[in-house]
């Protein structure tokens, strides 16, 4: 089963990747004299997967009030791997929690794949998140009484997958993050880095369109962090996929297509990385000069 699941999983992502390449080739035929300026213009036509406009969030009341977000504007396009950086307390976790629908905003707009959590009831939110979003919490949030495999299987069970199949798929994903031999372990029996990998497996097991990760490599050594990022990027390949990663870890910047910087509850800059330009040029079949 795990071998078959692995094949299906890989086939699905290869299919998405090929589809995207084909779409881009078709586009490239219409752009023979393609230049950087055309590239930027063309990118604006891409689908916006996440649109945040003027998001505000305040915690507490009176003297203890903290303005965590003071009008955040951010757009993330499909196919993008966006990293979010900034000093501690600048609002990164608050922002991605709102994007992933685990926290309500006070004001502004936040639309994810044309859906706004503010217009959904609790049940609809849970269902939408279960089908479309994978979230890696900064503090992992594993359920202490469940084994690693059971924790990873939770999103599948929410989506109505039968328990046996859910556990098999959870084991297969745990194998891919190097924890194939710890599937029966409880969270308390795992190291911080192992718990983090369980949290990452849980975020991708249901093949979500949007993966949002809060410091996914903070407890991992360089090699494991690299492997985990490769896996996240692999899962988030395709025209309908988006990866948003909050990080302080400069070692994983190479996986970003764009880097957004936050400070004091605002986005202060968004930078295209060399990878963003070269990946897209490669897919469009355009030379690098």
Ligand X SMILES: Nc1ncnc2c1ncn2[C@@H]1O[C@H](COP(=O)(O)OP(=O)(O)OP(=O)(O)O)[C@@H](O)[C@H]1O
Contacts with Mg ion by CB under 5 A lie at 93, 138
CB of 79 to ligand X, least distance (A): 25
Q: Which two tokens stand for residue 267?
A: 């986005």
- Specify which residues 67 forms β-bridges with: 58
Strand order in the sheet with 210-214: 133-136, 210-214, 242-246, 81-85, 258-263, 266-272
Question: What single string gives the DSSP state of each residue in 101-153?
Answer: TSS--SEEEEEETTB-GGGS-HHHHHHHHHHHEEEE-TT----TTS-HHHHHH
Q: Which is nearer to ligand X, 84 or 211 (CB)?
A: 84
- Cα separation, 152 vs 199, whole angstroms: 7
Nearer Cβ to Mg ion (2/138): 138
Residue 93 or 151: the one with the smaller Cβ distance to ligand X is 93
Examine residue 94 and tell whether it contacts ligand X (CB under 6 A): yes
Please report how close the Cβ of residue 237 comes to ligand X at its closest, in angstroms.
Answer: 27
Q: Which residue is nearest to Mg ion (CB)?
A: 93
Rounded distance between C-alpha atoms, residue 281 and residue 64, angstroms:
49
**Count of residues that bind ligand X according to CB under 6 A:** 13
Binding site partner of 60, from ligand X, Mg ion, none, Cβ cut-off 5-8 A by kind: ligand X
Nearer to Mg ion, 238 or 265 (CB): 265
Candidate list 8, 19, 66, 143; residue touching ligand X; CB under 6 A:
66
Residues 130-189, interacting with ligand X (CB under 6 A): 138
Instruction: Report if residue 90 touches ligand X, rule: CB under 6 A.
Output: yes
Is there a contact between 243 and 233 (Cβ–Cβ < 8 Å)? yes
Tell the burial category of 245 from Cβ atoms under 10 Å away from its Cβ (0-12, 13-18, 19+): buried
Q: Which of 9, 24, 77, 91 binds ligand X (CB under 6 A)?
A: 91
Among 50, 68, 85, 161, binds ligand X (CB under 6 A): 68
- The CB-of-48 to ligand X minimum distance in angstroms stands at 23
- Joined tokens for residue 52: 């945040």
Read off the tokens for 71: 């009008």
Among 4, 35, 47, 60, binds ligand X (CB under 6 A): 60
By CB under 6 A, tell whether 71 contacts ligand X. no
Residue 88 lies near ligand X (rule: CB under 6 A):
yes
Comparing CB distances to ligand X, the nearer of 70 and 273 is 70
Residue 257 contacts which entry, ligand X, Mg ion, none (Cβ below 5-8 A, type-dependent) = none
Angle between helices 274-284 and 2-29 (to 10 degrees): 80
Under rule CB under 6 A, which residues in 112-141 are in contact with ligand X?
Answer: 138
For residue 244, give the H/E element and its range: strand 242-246
From Mg ion, ligand X, none, which one binds at residue 12 (CB under 5 to 8 Å depending on kind)?
A: none
Q: CB–CB of 183/171 below 8 Å? A: yes
- Torsion over CA: 87, 91, 94, 97 (sign): negative
CA distance 89 to 93: 9
CB 131 within 8 A of CB 206: yes
Residues in the chain: 289
Window contacting ligand X (CB under 6 A); options: 6-14, 86-94, 178-186, 205-213: 86-94
Interacting residue ranges for ligand X, rule: CB under 6 A? 59-60, 66, 68, 86, 88-94, 138
């Amino acid at each position: 089963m795990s071998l078959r699941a692995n094949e299906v999983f890989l086939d699905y992502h290869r299919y998405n990747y090929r589809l995207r390449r084909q779409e881009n080739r078709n586009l490239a035929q219409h752009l023979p004299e393609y230049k950087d300026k055309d590239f930027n213009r063309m990118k604006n036509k891409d689908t916006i997967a996440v649109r945040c406009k003027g998001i505000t969030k305040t915690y507490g009341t009176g003297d203890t009030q903290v303005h965590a977000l003071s009008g955040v504007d951010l757009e993330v396009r499909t196919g993008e791997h966006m990293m979010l950086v900034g000093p501690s307390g600048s609002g990164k976790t608050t922002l991605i929690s709102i994007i992933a629908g685990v926290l309500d905003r006070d004001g502004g707009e936040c639309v994810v794949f044309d859906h706004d959590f503010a217009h959904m009831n609790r049940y609809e939110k849970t269902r939408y998140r279960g089908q479309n979003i994978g979230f890696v919490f900064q503090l992992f949030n594993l359920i202490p009484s469940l084994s690693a495999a059971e924790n990873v299987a939770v999103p599948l069970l929410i989506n109505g997958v039968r328990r046996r199949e859910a556990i098999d798929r959870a084991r297969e994903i745990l194998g891919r993050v190097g924890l194939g031999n710890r599937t029966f372990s409880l969270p308390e029996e795992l190291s911080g880095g192992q718990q983090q990998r369980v949290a990452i497996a849980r975020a991708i097991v249901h093949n979500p369109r949007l993966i949002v990760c809060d410091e996914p490599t903070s407890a991992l050594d360089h090699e494991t962090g690299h492997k985990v990022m490769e896996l996240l990027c692999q899962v988030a390949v395709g025209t309908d996929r988006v990866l948003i990663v909050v990080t302080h870890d400069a070692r994983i910047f190479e996986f970003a297509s764009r880097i957004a910087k936050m400070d004091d509850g605002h986005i202060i800059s968004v930078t295209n990385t060399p990878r963003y330009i070269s990946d897209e040029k490669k897919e469009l079949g355009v030379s690098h000069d």
